[in-house]
Chain A
Amino acid sequence: MELQILLSIAAILFCVGIYGVISRRNAIGVLLSLELMANAVNLNLVIFARYGDGAVGQAFTLFAIALTVAEVVVGLALVVLLYRTRHDVLTELASDLKR
């Protein structure tokens, strides 16, 4: 029973992240929501590692966190660039692909 509760928490966290990514107009908000999604996945890893045997999942999570940090650095750099060129961080400002 405990496992299902824990997995549900991770799933809820993931859905919150998805909702944020879809609905947020602020680029920093989108980035935060992405972090939520990533951490939901990390949480899943830790949970399964706890109920399985061995510490591979836990160790793997550490790597995933480090990678997430790197990814956030890139994302924040994009946001900074967006702010420099558009003087705001609204996502609809980065819409050069459309005609």
Chain B
Amino acid sequence: MTPLILALIAVFAPLIVATLLVIVRPLRNTGKPAAGLSVIGAVASLVASLALFWQSVTGHVDVLQEVMWLPEGGYPMATIGVQLDGISVSMLVVVSLVATCVQVFSLEYMDSETDADYGRYFTWQSLFLFTMQGLVVSPNLLQLFICWELVGLCSYLLIGFYWQKPSAARAAVKAFWITKFADMGLLLGLIVQYVHTGGFGWDDTIVAGLASAGMVNVVAAMYFFAVMGKSAQFPLHVWLPDAMEGPTPVSALLHAATMVAAGVYLIVRAYPIFLAAEQVMPVMACIGGVTAFLAACMAIVQTDIKKVLAYSTCSQLGYMVAALGGGSLMGGYFHLTTHAFFKALLFLAAGSVIHAIHSNEISDMGGLWNRMKLTTVVFVIGSLALAGIPLLSGFYSKDLILESLYEATHHDPIYWIPFIACTVTAGLTAYYMGRVILLAFFGEESEKVSHAHEHGLAMSGPLVLLATLAVFAGFGGGQLGHLYGVHDYHFSVLHVTPVGGLAFLMALSGFGGAYALHTAGMGEGLKTSLVPLGDFIKSGPVDRIWVAIYRQVLHGVADALGWFDRYIIDGLINAFGAWCLNFGEQIRGMQTGRINDYMHVVLMAILILAAVSQVWLRMGGA
């Protein structure tokens, strides 16, 4: 089959399923058959994506097929279509692979839901897969923007899946508001870009047009603002931890592997624009570095296993953004790929634990190794990959990021900020993952854990598959670099540079610190002295700043506008109305109320007008 047809299958198979499930309500409410249909859609998408991937590895896939949309005066104002190259094809595989794993996992994870809820869950999963695939193949930023909003909608629906819970409903609304606020940047950027270039693409002519208009930094900054919302960069990251109110597989798919990576993907796609924006690049790198560091600090103090992973996701997205800001497309995109696998793995493993003991709290866990061997093994593999232990996938991508940031410091000393932040974060990452492993999977067995047991094939199968990928995905680095069109990247398995060695040492010391503090029982004094700081971080200082801005600034502006509307605009109208009434009262005395009198007036008026017109005519008027 031609690449185009495969891509259409990959995009539209989930849409057909989703449409069917949305429209045919009895089918959706059957539960299991609806879920089966959804998985079939995902598998179809996966198979088509893999076939495409195979074609692009063995040969070369470069397809750009567009259809006219919004015709304006005979030529299209915009196009929609499919762009297939190394970047989009590999992302198609990542998305459909993780989505398939997550949907299969959900078959068992969600089995305590009613049939109607079960069907509703899979309907939205299918819808999400379609929107995400549509985003991936977008040949221009307008189509990307449409799909960007649609994945945001799916995120909202799935975070609020347990809408009966007030906290889940609130989290969904919070995620929606913050990402919409950030999306204003993408919309405004698109408008500015269209005004100055007449196109929504990202090719060289567009960049040249923006550069000659002097708008390239402005537009890139606007796009980056949207990325900060979607990819949860500081200080817009506050929605992501709350998004953990959704079902755990949703967190794995949307809020770890794919949807939050859409922001990074936007930078990767529109990279020519960002590369031309010389003032925006260092800002991106610094925000990424700061996010990586702060989110890792927040992950350390969380007691909810999903929140640890959520902050970890923020932190890793920070790495990707920092790498892209540092000018390394390969570093950012490679890490996106590997991160998708090991973070989805970690979330699904956490979901497996949560399903077994019905609690998110790490304090309710402990000693899971005795009950759930497979889950423990895959969680440890995911953690080691995340921490960047050599031979696992995370090592190669993270090493590449740190190296590229280190190289960037030669051009501009400001890159020391992200480089140091990311290097320190490597240690913190190992520390918080080590802490979770030691507290949740080893140590003393708690009451709830004693009833825990491993789950069936639907849950363990995806775990094993993702664990395999978390180990081996890194070895495909050279191949991926070739696909992405990056030619200065040479992959080798035993590739140790001073920077990589430093990161490895940081990771080891992080694990060592976790062992010393949480298992060996050392440093009690240090722990007690840091409790107030931990409590401060846990209380959500950034959230409080946003709430304060919301209450003071937004409410203030709203009150001022409300006052203006009530007293100035309404006041003018009311004053005019009152004046009319008053004037009417005053001239009311002229009225007699007798119809005959009015007829007299009319007759007199006619006669006078007739007389005037006669005189006027006689005088020789027109």
Residues of A within 8 A of B (CB): 18, 21-25, 30, 91-92, 94-99
Contacts and interface: CB of A to CB of B under 8 A. Distances in A.
B594 A99 contact: no
B593 A30 contact: no
Contacts of B594: 91-92, 95
B281 to A, nearest CB: 77
B600 A22 contact: yes
Interface of B: 588-589, 591-596, 599-600, 603
The 6 closest A-B pairs by CB, nearest first: A95-B593, A98-B593, A98-B591, A91-B595, A99-B588, A97-B591
Contacts, number: 34
B592 A91 contact: no
A98 B596 CA distance: 14
Contacts of A21: 596, 599
Contacts of A94: 593, 595
A26 to B, nearest CB: 11
Given A98-B588, A99-B588, A22 B593 contact: no
Nearest to B592: A98
A99 B596 contact: no
A98 B598 CA distance: 12
A99 B588 CA distance: 6
Contact of A92 (B588, B591, B593): B593
Contacts of A23: 596
Contacts of B596: 21-25, 91
Contacts of A95: 592-594
A96 B600 CA distance: 19
Point out which of A30, A94, A95 has the most chain B C-beta atoms below 10 A from its C-beta: A95
A96 B593 contact: yes
A54 B596 CA distance: 40
A64 to B, nearest CB: 19
Contact of B591 (A25, A91, A99): A99
- Counting chain A CB atoms within 10 Å of each CB, the highest count among B589, B593, B603 belongs to B593
Give the one of B588, B591, B592, B595 with max A CB within 10 A. Answer: B595
Contacts of A24: 596
A41 B589 CA distance: 35
19 contacts: A18-B599, A21-B596, A22-B599, A22-B600, A22-B603, A91-B595, A91-B596, A92-B594, A94-B593, A95-B593, A95-B594, A96-B593, A97-B588, A97-B591, A98-B592, A98-B593, A99-B588, A99-B589, A99-B591
A17 to B, nearest CB: 11
Nearest to B597: A22
B519 to A, nearest CB: 95
B602 to A, nearest CB: 9
B189 to A, nearest CB: 62
A38 to B, nearest CB: 15
Most A CB atoms within 10 A — which of B588, B589, B591, B599? B599
A21 B596 CA distance: 7
B283 to A, nearest CB: 72
A91 B595 CA distance: 6
Given A22-B596, A94-B593, 4 more contacts: A21-B599, A92-B595, A94-B595, A95-B593
Contacts of A92: 593-595
Nearest to A98: B593
Contacts of A97: 588, 591, 593
Contacts of A91: 594-596
Nearest to A95: B593
Contacts of A25: 596
A18 B603 contact: yes
Contacts of B593: 92, 94-98
Nearest to A94: B595
A63 B599 CA distance: 26
Contacts of B603: 18, 22
A56 to B, nearest CB: 26
Contacts of B592: 95, 98
Nearest to B590: A98
Of the listed residues B588, B592, B594, the one surrounded by the most CB atoms of chain A closer than 10 A to its CB is B594
A95 B594 CA distance: 6
A97 B600 CA distance: 17
A94 B596 CA distance: 11
A25 B589 CA distance: 22
Which of B588, B589, B596 is the most central at the interface, judged by chain A CB atoms within 10 Å of its CB? Answer: B596
A95 B591 CA distance: 9
A45 B265 CA distance: 81
B581 to A, nearest CB: 14
Contacts of B599: 18, 21-22
A24 B588 CA distance: 24
Contacts of B591: 97-99
A18 to B, nearest CB: 6
A90 B588 CA distance: 22
A25 B600 CA distance: 13
B228 to A, nearest CB: 67
B431 to A, nearest CB: 88
A95 B592 CA distance: 7
Nearest to A24: B596
Nearest to B595: A91
B310 to A, nearest CB: 73
Nearest to B600: A22
A92 B593 CA distance: 7
Contacts of A22: 596, 599-600, 603
Nearest to A30: B595
A75 to B, nearest CB: 12
